[in-house]
Chain A
Amino acid sequence: MAAVLTPVRKTAGQSFSDWANAHRKWLFAAPAMIFVGLLIVFPVAWTLYLSLTDASGSVRADSDFIGPDNYLTVLTDTDRFWPAAGRTAYFTVSALAVELVLGMCIALLLWRPFRGEKWVRVAILLPLVATPVAVGMMWRLIFDPNIGFANQMLGWVGIPPQPWLSGVESALPTTIFIDIWQWTPMIVLILLAGLTSLSDEPDEAARIDGASAWQRFRYVTLPLMMPTVIVAVLLRSIDALKTFDILYATKGKGGGSFNEVETLNIYAYGLSFDYNKYGLSSTVLILFFLIIVGIMFFLTRRRKGTN
């Protein structure tokens, strides 16, 4: 309508700004999309291509197209691939489960106002912003079998020292513990945001009806919180599945071998950058990617379902 009121003659600048205004939707969105697209589409396409070749050695080396052979190799590999997939599932599911339960408990503790609230919030924020590699190193010192504080503490109560990160059985649970330490606060913050946005009325009504605290949580608060819980699971599982920093910091360089904590992410990283088996690692990554997309698809469906 503004165009009707303006004089007939237009300068070049005006007609450009008219064009820009008319096409602002794509003018605004396109640069970001092109940037992400270039950095994703090409690499993913290339990874897909590599997964069908026997590429290894130098990145520039010639490689032969071998079709789905890599997929057969990987999917029948009960030595490395399936155990790594199992560890990824074990890591993600158990870390998430503990983080959710603990996170919900802490969020409920923080829900109603109290003195010193600010300080508790600060404490919750610190692990979240701490550099994961530094966090890994910090726990590596605490869990060191000889000089670590963890074993000193066990010594006080007469429990023999544990191998923690260097033990075959204990390495993965110990890294899960570190993940829980760092990321439970994230779940607390998300759930707390959900709790404070709840209306008081349903809870009050249940109280008047004589429901106990547990009943009010179980049948009133929890169902109302389900959408928030699913958002928390969605955000956290994306990162937990891809955990790299903490595993690398605790088990990499000088920390023994990755064998006990080899998740799909670590396995693929090793195949690419330690063994230069690009074809095989691409296959692992494509499968890993499909698994992640599948889980995200499932969770977003659930999320819509609860609305």
Chain B
Amino acid sequence: MSAVTELPESFTPVEATGRRRKPLRSRAYKWFRVCALVLVVLLLLAPLAWMVLASFKTNVDIYDAAKSLIFTPTFENYANVLARNNYFVFIFNSFWVAFASTLLSLLLGVPAAYAMSRFSMQRSALVVLMARIIPGVSLLVPWYYVFSNLRMVGGFSVLILSHMFVALPLIVYIMMSYFDSLPLELEESAQVDGLSPIGAFRLITLPLSVPGIMTAGILSFIFSWNNFMFALVLSGSSTKTLPVAIFDFVSYASIDWGGLMAAATVVTIPIMVIALFTQKYVVSGLTAGATKG
């Protein structure tokens, strides 16, 4: 059978994405693909499963190779993490810092991205994006100096400010590519109908960009939740965030592996659940601007 006569079959499936994608033909390749993908999924998930399994083991069982998979689960580690180590406070801290810094960054970042997209302010955008490029360590010493003089180190405001610094460039980058894709005509016709330019932004563009704002907000929340370095230096004992609190289970002499894995699971699970429910937004945020070239 020649390649040309095969063509019509390849036109069948219409994907939900609106793009036509061809099914594959070779049976051998199909099997190869199934095996390869199973392997990929296994390699990506097995370590996470291992972490969760270890969090249900006693430290004695963790040391026992024979009890890798079959063991009597214990909730002792979680009880220890949540009750004795006050993890509810750290969960609240992480949540509050991520939430506040995301909200404030959206407030600053969305209008900025709009202006930068509409008036193609390339250089100004570059200033904001520089914040992505600079190594965080180089900002920590001056920040520490200034904020400790202002008696802010150890408080929430300094953590929120430093996390905004991570969130803002991310939000500007995502929203710029989102606004670039919104047609200008909608606003122009709203202005012809009597709205002021800012009114058109507020009543037409902003409602239309809700999916973009969701994407930017969710991604900024995830990055803030996971951020470690700024909180390591700038948080106090009562404002510690979860990634910093994990280290409570590590001392120089020994590691409480069960507790440590329970703590690691407690940090990771909430953010994974959020990401799973908002998959579409997370993926579009991570790939924003990637296909424009």
Whether the Cβ atoms of A29 and B196 lie closer than 8 Å is: no
- Beta-carbon contacts under 8 Å, B252-293 to A: 252-255, 257, 260-261, 263-265, 267-268, 271-272, 274-276, 279, 282-283, 286-287, 289-291, 293
- Interface membership of chain A positions 128-155, coded 1 if the CB is closer than 8 angstroms to chain B and 0 otherwise: 1111111101110110001101001001
Whether the Cβ atoms of A253 and B252 lie closer than 8 Å is: yes
What are 22 A-B contacts with C-beta separation under 8 Å? Answer: A21-B196, A24-B201, A32-B172, A36-B131, A36-B165, A37-B127, A40-B139, A43-B138, A112-B22, A125-B279, A130-B268, A131-B268, A134-B243, A193-B290, A208-B4, A208-B7, A231-B290, A245-B226, A248-B228, A285-B138, A288-B135, A289-B138
Whether the Cβ atoms of A285 and B137 lie closer than 8 Å is: yes
Cβ-based interface call for B65 (8 A): yes
Whether the Cβ atoms of B128 and A33 lie closer than 8 Å is: yes
User: Which B residues lie within 8 Å of A39 (CB)?
Assistant: 131, 139, 143, 161, 165
Cβ-based interface call for A196 (8 A): yes
CA distance A107 to B102 in the complex (A): 31
User: Which A residues lie within 8 Å of B3 (CB)?
Assistant: 207-208, 210
From B233, B247, B293, contact of A307 by CB (8 A): B293
Cβ-based interface call for B23 (8 A): yes
CA distance A52 to B119 in the complex (A): 40
Cβ-based interface call for B1 (8 A): no
- Interface membership of chain A positions 115-128, coded 1 if the CB is closer than 8 angstroms to chain B and 0 otherwise: 00001111111111
Cβ-based interface call for A194 (8 A): yes
The 5 closest A-B pairs by CB, nearest first: A227-B293, A32-B112, A28-B115, A134-B264, A43-B142
Among the 9-residue stretches A67-75, A91-99, A168-176, A184-192, the one with 4 or more Cβ atoms under 8 Å from chain B is: A184-192
User: Which B residues lie within 8 Å of A298 (CB)?
Assistant: none
From B121, B287, B293, contact of A306 by CB (8 A): B293
Whether the Cβ atoms of A129 and B271 lie closer than 8 Å is: yes
From B21, B168, B255, contact of A32 by CB (8 A): B168
Cβ-based interface call for A89 (8 A): no
- Interface membership of chain B positions 145-173, coded 1 if the CB is closer than 8 angstroms to chain A and 0 otherwise: 11010000000000001001100110010
How many residues of A are counted as interface, with CB atoms below 8 angstroms from the partner's CB atoms?
A: 110
From B198, B261, B275, contact of A17 by CB (8 A): B198
- For the complex with contacts A33-B127, A141-B257, 9 further pairs of A-B residues with Cβ separation under 8 Å are A29-B111, A113-B21, A123-B44, A127-B48, A135-B268, A141-B62, A142-B50, A152-B65, A242-B135
What is the distance, in angstroms, from B44's C-beta to the closest C-beta of chain A? 5
Cβ-based interface call for B86 (8 A): no
Of chain A, the residue at the smallest CB distance from B141 is A272
User: Which A residues lie within 8 Å of B213 (CB)?
Assistant: none
Cβ-based interface call for B15 (8 A): yes
Whether the Cβ atoms of A137 and B68 lie closer than 8 Å is: no
Cβ-based interface call for B229 (8 A): yes
Whether the Cβ atoms of B108 and A35 lie closer than 8 Å is: yes
Whether the Cβ atoms of A265 and B137 lie closer than 8 Å is: yes
CA distance A52 to B97 in the complex (A): 35
Given contacts A28-B114, A47-B142, A138-B48, contact A2 B196 (CB under 8 A): yes
Of chain B, the residue at the smallest CB distance from A134 is B264
Cβ-based interface call for A66 (8 A): no
CA distance A66 to B203 in the complex (A): 58
- Beta-carbon contacts under 8 Å, A221-277 to B: 227-228, 231-232, 235, 238, 241-242, 244-245, 248-249, 252-255, 265, 268-269, 272-273
